Chain A
């Protein structure tokens, strides 16, 4: 099937600063695709290039197989939900939402029908006569969404639309946005710096850093098998362990750590012979095992130096052989409950260790 968005080697420079450094990716139709990264990573720049609000210095951009770069913004089949909503202050909600239809000279009966559907979709029928200054943040966000989807674009671009809202509202709207996307079947390209938000809503995520894509994959893939240190640390929290490869076969790998020889599952990557190479390993805090430990590989001892209760979980910090490790345990009757300063045994299951590329 034809990709909704096909990007090849897209580059954008602002003077000496390289905002986008040869981005290549492909987004499928009907996908909820997130661009995730810290401020300045280039995600908003990329979004604006797709929208046509900015032009690249190099590369190609295809929207449903057609060269989008030849089209100015107002002719591209995409619509944007802006971070600041950008609602027209001198128009009512109704006129705001109708604006795109008016520009395309849609017939009045069809316009009325589509408007009604859009208003109902985001549940703001009662507000249609108000002006933006009379709306709350959440209401403005819905109007912005309605204004974009009423044009039935093939791709919807969203630039951190929930950033200005409080936590509860944000969580509610995350679910609503996902539902709307599923219902309409539109391709969503969603920009955010909130990794939790990206994981909850997306089909696939592109983790970006300094103008490049660090890793591209489903939330599960990136979380379970991060390829770079940046991706591992940006999505959730992790422990980074320095090791060196001792030997390797098709099934498993032997590495030397501060705790001695550890075993891990051989990585799927086809990297050439890495014997002796210094590599970084990562293990998620929730994968560190405390009980039982005696028959496990990769055992060690550590001293509890920090305990934080966060309701459903207990966060521990252990100090072991000069290394500090983070561990998370579920706060149930089976969860390990330790005291400060207590020396405990732990294990890092071979299957949970991941090799990082950089």
Chain B
């Protein structure tokens, strides 16, 4: 039986190991987030200073209560961000899955090389990878001219800035991030089920639907959530590729803390973004334990 002194010594060691890091996170993560939450209930003065009274006004504004009735500006921002996140997740899934199958089908030697090639862009700076699309989508670039020739955009139109460019930038950023868990799922696949299905007369689509998809479903959902969560709060990509017309949560927050100098309102937007992320994390955790 461990005596009291031993137990106390062990507790002390636990505290010593975990304490400093935990303290740091409390001071520089929890407190600042609490501060943001607090400030979201304050009002903005005429010169941008934070002042009393406490109000729900910032949140009301986000929900659409404008001075002249329903103002859809910020609800639209929220909706657009959620759609962007969801869209990115779905598109990354559609593009990532064939890639995962492709890599999984390679011989051992090539597998690591192929996987590494997918991951390497992920290691380079996001800012650089994103602004590169400004070049690729510039008015006179080959891509723009091709799109115009195909009639996808009007002859004088731009591929960028806009929603399309933002999507492209997002997919480019998150695709490697998605391929890894997808690949892990595909590697664990039991192909004998697919063979059995084919043997019993199922065609290609049915084989996929009934023999393959159920096995990788968990991995797909995990990957989708992993992409959706950070995608809704993205700032850099919408900022560089979206322009003024495509406001999303990320650049909305930046605007309030920058040019608009409405910190309380910015705080409210940040809290909503945080809440969205926490809700997603909770769902993700629930799935992980199940």
Size category, A interface:
under 10
Tell me, rounded to whole Å, the shortest Cβ–Cβ distance linking A155 to chain B: 20
Tell me, rounded to whole Å, the shortest Cβ–Cβ distance linking B246 to chain A: 54
CB neighbours (8 Å) of A70 from chain B are 3
Give 5 pairs: A residue, B residue, CB < 8 Å, sorted on A: A55-B2, A56-B1, A57-B1, A70-B3, A72-B6
- Complex: how many Å from CA A72 to CA B6? 9
Chain B, residue nearest A60 (CB)? B1
CB neighbours (8 Å) of A69 from chain B are 1
Chain A, residue nearest B9 (CB)? A72
Task: With a 10 A CB-CB cut-off, give which of B1, B3, B6 has the most chain A CB atoms.
Answer: B1
- Complex: how many Å from CA A41 to CA B92? 52
- Complex: how many Å from CA A57 to CA B3? 12
Interface of B is mostly: loop
Q: Which residues of A contact B (CB under 8 A)?
A: 55-58, 69-70, 72
CB neighbours (8 Å) of A56 from chain B are 1
- Complex: how many Å from CA A72 to CA B3? 10
> Restricting to B1-30, which residues have a CB under 8 Å from any CB of A?
1-3, 6
CB neighbours (8 Å) of B2 from chain A are 55
Size category, B interface:
under 10
- Complex: how many Å from CA A56 to CA B2? 9
- Complex: how many Å from CA A57 to CA B2? 10
Chain B, residue nearest A59 (CB)? B1
Tell me, rounded to whole Å, the shortest Cβ–Cβ distance linking A218 to chain B: 33
- Complex: how many Å from CA A72 to CA B5? 12
- Complex: how many Å from CA A69 to CA B1? 6
- Complex: how many Å from CA A317 to CA B2? 54
Chain B, residue nearest A56 (CB)? B1
Tell me, rounded to whole Å, the shortest Cβ–Cβ distance linking B155 to chain A: 68
Tell me, rounded to whole Å, the shortest Cβ–Cβ distance linking B262 to chain A: 56
- Complex: how many Å from CA A72 to CA B7? 12
CB neighbours (8 Å) of B6 from chain A are 72
Chain A, residue nearest B6 (CB)? A72
- Complex: how many Å from CA A294 to CA B118? 87
- Complex: how many Å from CA A58 to CA B1? 7
Contacts A55-B1, A57-B1 aside, 6 further interface pairs with beta carbons under 8 A come to A55-B2, A56-B1, A58-B1, A69-B1, A70-B3, A72-B6
CB neighbours (8 Å) of B3 from chain A are 70
- Complex: how many Å from CA A306 to CA B120? 68
CB neighbours (8 Å) of B1 from chain A are 55-58, 69
Chain B, residue nearest A70 (CB)? B3
Kindly supply a per-residue 1/0 record for chain B positions 61-95, scoring 1 wherever the CB is within 8 Å of any chain A CB and 0 otherwise: 00000000000000000000000000000000000
Chain A, residue nearest B3 (CB)? A70
Tell me, rounded to whole Å, the shortest Cβ–Cβ distance linking A11 to chain B: 11
CB neighbours (8 Å) of A55 from chain B are 1-2
Tell me, rounded to whole Å, the shortest Cβ–Cβ distance linking A346 to chain B: 53
Tell me, rounded to whole Å, the shortest Cβ–Cβ distance linking A252 to chain B: 50
CB neighbours (8 Å) of A57 from chain B are 1
Chain B, residue nearest A69 (CB)? B1
- Complex: how many Å from CA A55 to CA B6? 12
- Complex: how many Å from CA A70 to CA B3? 8
Tell me, rounded to whole Å, the shortest Cβ–Cβ distance linking A50 to chain B: 14
Chain B, residue nearest A58 (CB)? B1
- Complex: how many Å from CA A55 to CA B10? 14
Tell me, rounded to whole Å, the shortest Cβ–Cβ distance linking A57 to chain B: 8
Chain B, residue nearest A57 (CB)? B1
Nearest 8 pairs of A and B residues by beta carbon: A55-B2, A55-B1, A69-B1, A56-B1, A72-B6, A70-B3, A57-B1, A58-B1
- Complex: how many Å from CA A58 to CA B6? 17
Tell me, rounded to whole Å, the shortest Cβ–Cβ distance linking A73 to chain B: 11
CB neighbours (8 Å) of A58 from chain B are 1
Tell me, rounded to whole Å, the shortest Cβ–Cβ distance linking B189 to chain A: 32
